[in-house]
A and B are shown apart, each in its own frame.
Chain A
Amino acid sequence: MTEASSYIPPGWEYNPAAWSQRIPIVLLALVGFAIATYLSLYQLDVIDQVWEPFFGDGSETILNSKISHILPVPDAALGAFGYLVDAVTGVIGRTNRWKRMPWIVIIFGLAVGPLGFVSLMLVVFQPVLFSAWCTLCLGSAVISVLMIGPAMDEMLASLQFLKRAKDHEKVSTWKVFWGIDSEIDKMNE
């Protein structure tokens, strides 16, 4: 068995941690990061205007709304941080990380999931609370939703691996989760 094919999880047909699987998600996260950074620069008054091709003063209404400033930092800055976490946790680790670094895959999955959920909530708030739409906010939400599906397969591979560790009598799931090599080697996978 070649090294690469041994990284395919048991019962799978491809390796969900392969770079071809991960790079598109990281690129999406970087685009999201760029959009959210731009919007937060507007919210922090670094730039005076925001690009809005379709909805008139919609973007301004949304980006200056109470909800967007409910936290000490503007919501777009928080979004930018979220995308950065997605990109960084998407890049860290080699192509066997679903079993050698389960913790990073789980953090990656947990970062992508809630970011998508928060984006969805903000999309609902736009028309319901403020009767306005914000083009780039919608674009950012589309990106974060697009990331969920492709990120979840790797999460699944890691969770299945942790489940096998849990069912294994002589292995500590905790140590496997943190990627302790000597513990993972005991599983003979």
Chain B
Amino acid sequence: MWARILNIMIGIWLMAAPGILSYETAAAHNGHIVGPVIATFATIACWDATRNVRLWNYPLGGWLLLAPWILSYDYSLAIVSDMLCGVLVLVFASVQRKSTGKYGGGWRVLWK
């Protein structure tokens, strides 16, 4: 649960950082787009039956590591912020909580 909450906070930080650190253009757009999505996935993963949604944040965390170079940020604080957030999102998304329920085999049985 704490790992989900930390990723929610990172998502909110990514939304707020362009305003707080006052940077614009691609770096700001990237935070404004990726931040809410990370926070949403982490929120949905707070509930036991949908806890695997935490894994959906892997590609987004990975993207944060690449984005500064692909979108060529021109503000070093934005580069540091996004890279750091990327690493932390990947770490927290990989934190696995012991499942408290069984859920009749979960979502997996639907495709059997």
Contacts and interface: CB of A to CB of B under 8 A. Distances in A.
A90 to B, nearest CB: 16
B103 A11 contact: yes
Contacts of B49: 16, 149, 152-153, 156
Contacts of A10: 104
Interface residues of B, number: 28
A145 interface: yes
Given A128-B32, A156-B49, A12 B40 contact: no
Contact of B47 (A9, A12, A127, A150): A150
A120 interface: yes
Contacts of A152: 44, 47, 49-50
Contacts of A163: 109-110, 112
B95 to A, nearest CB: 17
Contacts, number: 70
Nearest to A167: B112
A14 B49 CA distance: 12
A102 interface: no
Interface in B16-55: 18, 28-29, 32-33, 36-37, 39-40, 43-50
Interface of A: 9-14, 16, 116, 120, 123-124, 127-128, 141, 145-146, 148-150, 152-153, 156-157, 159-160, 163
